[in-house]
Amino acid sequence: MPGELIKIEKPAPCKEDEFAVLQATPEQQHEIRQALLKTEQPKYLYWTELKRKSWIPETIRPESFWSLTKAVRMLRKIETPIKSHPDQQAFSWIKCAHYEPVLHEIDLNMGGRLLGLNAISEQKRQKYVSRSLIEESIASAQLEGAHTTREAAQKMIREGRPPADLGQRMIYNNYRAMRLIEEELRNEKLTIENLLSLHAVLTADTLENTSQAGRLRTDDERITVSSPLDGKIAHVPPPVSFVKEEITRLIAWANDELDEGGFTHPLVKAIALHFWVGYLHPFADGNGRLARALFYWYMLHKDYWAFAFFPISTRIKKSPKQYVYAYIHSEQDDCDLTYFIDYNIRQIELARKDFEAYVEKKAGEGEKFAQIAKALPDMNDRQIQLVHYLLSHPDERTNVTSMTRLYGVTAATAVKDLKSLQGEGYLVSRRKGRNVFYYPTDKLLKLDS
């Protein structure tokens, strides 16, 4: 029922006399070792999933095997600066074997070789970034309850239209915040002022109490985090006094100013920062959006520019239950952050593959682009892309704002592109209020015949 705290199932303590691994034969020990590998690959398993696995050796009870799994994990854990409340236990994580190729791929491609994109034009890069920021803004807001269609939200952002409702306002705020990160904050250190400003952008005109935007929550603002799946309580944030202490440490860690006793890969660190904000829940509202935005800030700040192309939240939105339980398991299973890290790494891999498919699809459209370019030899690449889009979406329209956001050009350049196409009879303009929209003409549509 609503208001009930979600508690994960835990097995009964294992009796020592049932823990007979040391007495196992070499063949049985090999079987146990192989089974232990499966507890973390392809997914880092908790007891409720592990206990049903057919590969648990018959010579050991599931409860005993879980005790062994926990003991092995304890030996391998890497502590983080993130502390739990009230016992001050450090959250820790385990570097699972299947993370290595993912981290290697990210390091290898961070400087521009991603999918051959080192040779792309700045215009095309801007288009990819714009697409990703729009998709991320929509999905991140929808995760927090924004009710609007993807198509309506896309049009609202691209055309620069004012948000029509609360859901669209949340999405618009996300887009503004992501743009702020992409264009400015990525080059700056994290400060409490930047964090508060980012929160103010994310929550502008979306809160019942407008004073909550851009400030930490107070003691009398007692909040709980409800699961979007069933309304039960997924997390009770720590008190404000603890939050104020920890937010200072969070900022220091984000700026690499906190001694962490060794190297932490930037991707793992960005995911941990995402979790840390969610755990602290330092604001009355907007914490989830801020946590995901901070993940992007850290990756871009560390020059992993390819992450500007990956709308990770679109993948998280497809598995909301797993997302919620990645938080819950990390908090309730002895502060084992691996559940959250593992979930996010798997979603990042899926997002990367989504982008690969998108680029391949666009590459497959090269022949059609060539046909349009041949038919319109005096038009530039932006205009050819626009014509291609309108041929595929004849009921759509465009305007100056849409062109500037898609291609990263000035309004004057966008006007020149549109007026040129209009002068050749490929577009017709119509005014709606203060906006001028451009629609495809029959002459443009005949290019597809």
Concatenate the DSSP letters of all residues of 89-122 into one string. Answer: PEEEE---TTHHHHHHHHHHHTTTTGGGGGG--H
Average pLDDT, the chain: 89
Q: Residue 264, class by beta-carbon neighbours within 10 Å (0-12 exposed, 13-18 middle, 19+ buried)?
A: middle
**346: pLDDT strictly greater than 60:** yes
pLDDT band at 16 (very low <50, low <70, confident <90, very high): low
Q: What is the DSSP string of 138-178?
A: HHHHHHTT----HHHHHHHHHHTPPP-SHHHHHHHHHHHHH
Q: What pLDDT is stored for residue 1 in this prediction? A: 40
Q: What is the DSSP string of 408-445?
A: ---HHHHHHHHHHHHHTTSEEEEEETTEEEEEE-HHHH
**74: pLDDT strictly greater than 90:** yes
| Pairwise CA distance, residues 135 & 123, whole Å | 18
**188: pLDDT strictly greater than 90:** yes
Q: What pLDDT is stored for residue 4 in this prediction? A: 86
| Pairwise CA distance, residues 99 & 180, whole Å | 30
Q: What's the length of the chain?
A: 449
Domain ranges in the chain are: 16-75, 81-360, 366-448
Q: Residue 401, class by beta-carbon neighbours within 10 Å (0-12 exposed, 13-18 middle, 19+ buried)?
A: middle
**12: pLDDT strictly greater than 90:** no
Could you tell me if 129 and 120 are in contact, meaning their C-beta atoms sit under 8 angstroms apart? Answer: no
Q: Residue 250, class by beta-carbon neighbours within 10 Å (0-12 exposed, 13-18 middle, 19+ buried)?
A: buried
Could you tell me if 119 and 316 are in contact, meaning their C-beta atoms sit under 8 angstroms apart? Answer: no
Q: What does DSSP assign to residue 80?
A: E
Domains 81-360 and 366-448 share a fold: no
Q: What pLDDT is stored for residue 69 in this prediction? A: 95
With pLDDT > 70 as the criterion, what percentage of the chain qualifies?
92
pLDDT band at 132 (very low <50, low <70, confident <90, very high): confident
With pLDDT > 90 as the criterion, what percentage of the chain qualifies?
60
pLDDT digits (tens, 9 = 90+) for 214-224: 999 999 998 99
CATH topology of domain 366-448: Arc Repressor Mutant, subunit A (1.10.10)
Peptide bond into 86 cis (omega under 30): yes
Question: What is the token pair recorded at 298?
Answer: 């850290």
pLDDT band at 262 (very low <50, low <70, confident <90, very high): confident
pLDDT band at 15 (very low <50, low <70, confident <90, very high): low
Instruction: Work out whether strand 78-83 and strand 90-93 pair parallel, antiparallel, or are unpaired.
Output: antiparallel
Listed range (107-116, 338-347, 428-437) with the worst mean pLDDT: 107-116
CATH architecture of 81-360: Orthogonal Bundle (1.10)
When comparing pLDDT for 444 and 146, which is higher?
A: 444
pLDDT band at 112 (very low <50, low <70, confident <90, very high): very low
User: Minimal CA–CA distance to 403: which of 163, 127, 181, 183?
Assistant: 127
pLDDT digits (tens, 9 = 90+) for 294-338: 999 999 999 888 787 778 889 999 999 999 999 999 999 999 999
Q: Considering just the CA atoms, what is the radius of gyration of the chain in Å?
A: 25
Q: What is the DSSP string of 209-263?
A: SGGGTTS---TT----EE-TTTS-EEE-PPPHHHHHHHHHHHHHHHTT-S--SS-
**423: pLDDT strictly greater than 90:** yes
| Pairwise CA distance, residues 193 & 449, whole Å | 56
Q: 7-15: long-range contacts at Cβ-Cβ below 8 A with a sequence spacing of 24 or more?
A: 7/332, 8/46, 8/47, 8/48, 8/328, 8/329, 8/332, 8/333, 9/47, 9/48, 10/47, 11/47, 11/51, 11/62, 11/63, 11/66, 12/63, 14/61, 14/63, 14/64, 14/66, 14/67
pLDDT band at 59 (very low <50, low <70, confident <90, very high): confident
For the segment 259-283, the average pLDDT, to the nearest whole number, is 93
| Pairwise CA distance, residues 252 & 249, whole Å | 5
